[in-house]
Chain A
Amino acid sequence: MSAALRRFFLLSPALAVILFLIGVPLCLMAWVSLLDKGGTSGVDWSSAPSSANYVRLAWEEDFDGTMILNTSYLVIFLRSVSLAAVTTVLSLAFGLPVALWMASLSRTGRDIMLLLITIPFWTNLLVRNYAWLIILREDGWVSRFVNMISPWPVQLLYNDAAVAIGLTYSLLPFTILPLYTVFEKFDWRLLEAAHDLGATRKRALLRVVLPIATPGIVAGALLVFIPCLGAFVTPALLGGGKTLMLGNIIQMQFGASRNWPFGATLAVVLLAIMLVVMTAMALWRNRRTA
């Protein structure tokens, strides 16, 4: 058996998984996004492929047949991206100090912290979001406390802020863990060297710690930003149906609306946004390390 053939056979299980579980469904989704809705299955398989679903994202047909701009989907796209960005920034703001602090602990301290951070994953995401519902609702103690010290009434639940809080809570571990792995390997003598060469604590953080932690920061940011874009449980529960995100309308198209082709269209667009973000990040990192 030649080396190439041998390599192919050894790789075949992985290749099969990638082909049949990722490649084929993706192509299928892209194909469906070009079809019409129909029947009980949600897809009219016999319809001719067209770009109609993509046009529908931004334009709609007026009563007299002219196409006019419809911004309702664009607003949801924009809101999804900005909520994901806010969540990413919040996760980094909370995650960086926690990860730094964890890396400074003893062996046992680190293990305990890692355990504490992973414990929320033992509970279903839905249950954890219901917990936030109880924490933030009007007669909850957090809400009562905030309204006691605030001069004007504050609504904590069913708005963008509630969604951002919920998403940050759910995804924070994904920022902490990659940052922690970077800081755990960090050579703290470099900090001494920076101080020795005249850098104050703030300057040493900016010039030595953060640049070396960049791979962790990028990984942590992507791991939060991407799931955020597709999130639908948190916006549905904590946004109260008012704050729709991409994930929600995709779910609605496949569910209640029974419009699989349009759902597939939205999913393809979501995928495209993620691809653009990840490519931009990769290009930026290559330029930095070159």
Chain B
Amino acid sequence: MTQASSPPAVSIRNVAKSFGKGIYAFRVLDDVSLDIGRREFFTLLGPSGCGKTTLLRLIAGFETADSGAISIEGEDVTARPPFHRPVNTVFQSYALFPHLTVEQNVAFALEEQGMARDAIRKRVGEALEMMRMGSFAKRKPAELSGGQQQRVALARALAPRPRVLLLDEPLSALDLKLRKEMQIELKMLQEEAGITFLFVTHDQEEALTLSDRVAVMQSGRILQMGPPREIYETPTHRFVADFIGDINLLDGEALPGGGVRLEGGTVLSAPHNASGKVTVAIRPERARLAPAGEGALEATVVHSAYLGTAMLHKLDLPGGGTFLLRQSDPTEAAPEAGSRVGLALPAEALRVLDR
């Protein structure tokens, strides 16, 4: 995605930020560096308090970094106030101006730029049309539903044609159905507008669906950064594996020359070059049921749930702990609750992670 010839849309270099002073100081961002390519849909994903919103606010200019540099399309904006940065934000609370109509809200930035009146009218019309809000132009924000306010917030942020659009959990206030609709719409909008999107969310499913690349954050650091498939299939940290999707985590000890001895004593053959305490991770859909006595592990079926497209089995491991197994063909014969089964764990589906 990143073009080698031109500078990246957003470049963040060794940014650190703390809130509070002295012994109360709390480090929110710890030496974060990343590049976002032009026209990329980039997502910052992490639990609340991981620093993702702070990073977005630093790029918008609402906060100042303690150290490090931020540049947008090659221009250093670290010391610039928010009104002199070529980015616009879609706020989690929408932050629409309550005293202005929809059309006045969308025209706000254009008027600040000193654009001619006719040009403003045309641009506002286009922006509202793109968000299918043209018929609501004369309404006040209070007269709109949540989803409609969301569209106005998007139209308002896109109207001045920013280099980068910052989205701070914009869908979190919507109900599930509307949220799914807006997800698709956002993705299409980004492709249509050809603008770099920096999206912040704690919803891992949303992040995987929308993004070209995802950065998973925890405690002010970026743990892993890459395309959704890479993050899902080859997590590099136990936290990333656990945070994204369902996964089985089996603790054990790395054996020299490959293989892991699990806490129950069973040895799994899994390729790795780690040492000491490790965790073996496997997605529920990558493990397979085997007849009792075969497979790498023995387990007892506790409960089976029919999901329509698949069966989800909850199994008890003899050493304690549960194991989730997703049987992708629900018409296949399912084991009965209480029966003993074997678990086939393909070596290529196992990820050995440091603990």
Contact = CB atoms under 8 A, between A and B. Distances in A.
Interface of A: 187, 189-190, 192-200, 203, 207-208, 211-212
A198 B95 contact: no
Interface string B107-131: 0110011000000000000000000
A198 B83 contact: yes
17 contacts: A190-B95, A190-B97, A192-B62, A192-B91, A193-B89, A193-B96, A193-B97, A194-B97, A196-B83, A196-B157, A197-B112, A199-B83, A200-B83, A208-B97, A208-B99, A212-B98, A212-B99
A224 to B, nearest CB: 24
Nearest to A212: B99
A203 B156 CA distance: 17
B282 interface: no
Contact of B95 (A187, A203, A211, A212): A187
A211 B98 CA distance: 10
Interface in B69-83: 81-83
B160 interface: yes
A195 B63 CA distance: 12
With a 10 A CB-CB cut-off, give which of B60, B61, B98, B108 has the most chain A CB atoms. B108
* Complex A-B, nearest 10 residue pairs according to Cβ-Cβ distance, in ascending order: A197-B109, A198-B112, A193-B95, A195-B82, A189-B95, A196-B89, A211-B99, A195-B83, A198-B83, A197-B108
A150 B60 CA distance: 50
A137 B113 CA distance: 53
B151 to A, nearest CB: 16
A208 B61 CA distance: 19
Interface string B84-96: 0001110101011
For chain B, give the interface size range.
20 to 34
With a 10 A CB-CB cut-off, give which of A198, A200, A207 has the most chain B CB atoms. A198
B114 to A, nearest CB: 10
Given A203-B112, A207-B108, A211-B99, A196 B93 contact: no
Interface of B: 60-62, 81-83, 87-89, 91, 93, 95-99, 108-109, 112-113, 156-157, 160
B138 to A, nearest CB: 12
Contacts of B112: 197-199, 203
Contacts, number: 61
A194 B96 CA distance: 9
A133 B124 CA distance: 59
Contact of A189 (B83, B88, B93, B99): B93
B113 A198 contact: yes
A199 B108 contact: yes
With a 10 A CB-CB cut-off, give which of A192, A197, A208 has the most chain B CB atoms. A197
A208 B97 CA distance: 7
B88 A196 contact: yes
Given A195-B82, A198-B160, A200-B83, A189 B108 contact: no
B337 to A, nearest CB: 52
Contacts of A200: 81, 83
A36 B160 CA distance: 72
A193 B99 CA distance: 14
B62 A197 contact: no
Contacts of A211: 99
B165 to A, nearest CB: 11
A192 B60 CA distance: 10
Nearest to A210: B99
Contacts of B93: 187, 189
A73 to B, nearest CB: 42
Nearest to B106: A197
B83 A192 contact: no
B108 A194 contact: yes
With a 10 A CB-CB cut-off, give which of A187, A193, A207 has the most chain B CB atoms. A193
B156 A197 contact: yes
A30 to B, nearest CB: 40
Given A203-B112, A207-B108, A195 B61 contact: yes
With a 10 A CB-CB cut-off, give which of B81, B82, B87, B96 has the most chain A CB atoms. B82
Contacts of A193: 89, 91, 95-97
A189 B81 contact: no
